[in-house]
Amino acid sequence: MQQRRTYENKTVKLLLWFATAVGGVEVTCIVLVWFFLLRTRKHPDSATQGYLLTNRFQRFTFDELRKATRGFKEVIGQGAGGIVYKGVLSDRRIAAIKRLNEANQGEAEFLAEVNTIGMLNHMYLIEMWGYCAEGKHKLLVYEYLEHGSLAKNLSSNVLDWKKRFEIAVGTAKGIVYLHEECLEWILHCDVKPQNILLDADYQPKVADFGVAKLVSRNMSDHSSFSRMRGTRGYMAPEWIYNLPITSESGCVQLWDSSVGNCNWKEPKCHAYL
């Protein structure tokens, strides 16, 4: 009888230990789930964690980019949209970092445009690596192309006729992709030699979408702009006469850039300007 009671006591103790262990595991799981939900609630969208959902761009802080550019010292380009600096990222990649001019554009609108542009993938378009959006500070981080812009190489003896032809064709393919082949048409509006960059093999990459216009394919009237965009000497007549801007408008700018490429110099102006 005593042995039976001893056996029953051991069984009860074993059951109690088992119940305690199961309860402990359940409590631990509840705490972990609560902690995970709390962190998710603090960071509701992937952009605040440093990446955009669709393209996994890195979101840099302003201090990171200021350090990468050594206080924004080395200017490698400048335009109406902002100033471009050369920088070295923390992973030692050399980047072209464009600091956009201050504008009234909100962060949500800025991120939406960055997200759209970031989904572009074409061998003749410059690759964007990331961005920064901290209050008034808005910056874009691109790959750095060592030979710079076509404008700086127009008089170069390295560019023979074959290379110049390849540059013209490659640029045209990049513009066609932007204007006709994207889910949302992107009208570049500022195609010029300064915005055609050359890689190590002197292959072109179209850059600077700072004045680009996103246009839905559903719109019958392509777009109207609140202000004139682009650079004198490369603007289509539609700008001058306040006509609707379409994808064909970029053909004039592309033609001007191609003429400059063949003439080994930039055009001075148009007859209608």
Pick the CATH number of 150-263 from 1.10.510.10, 3.40.50.720, 1.20.120.1200, 1.10.3720.10: 1.10.510.10
CATH topology of domain 48-143: Phosphorylase Kinase; domain 1 (3.30.200)
The token pair at 263 is 């003439």
More confident residue, 219 or 134: 134
Confidence of residue 80 (pLDDT cuts 50, 70, 90): low
Q: What pLDDT is attached to residue 226?
A: 42
Catalytic residue check, 190: yes
d(CA 23, CA 29): 10
The token pair at 47 is 């952009």
Fold equal for 48-143 and 150-263:
no
Segment 130-139 shows an average pLDDT of 91
Q: Which of 45, 91, 160, 190 is catalytic?
A: 190
Task: Name the residue ranges covered by the structural domains of the chain.
Answer: 48-143, 150-263
98 is in an annotated binding site: yes
The residues, ordered by sequence, that sit 6+ positions from 70 with a Cβ below 8 Å of its Cβ are 87
pLDDT digits 0-9 by tens, 17-73: 766 766 666 767 776 766 666 665 444 444 444 444 445 678 999 999 999 999 999
| Residue labelled with tokens 């209608």 | 272
Confidence of residue 272 (pLDDT cuts 50, 70, 90): very low
Strand partners of residue 12: none
More confident residue, 138 or 39: 138
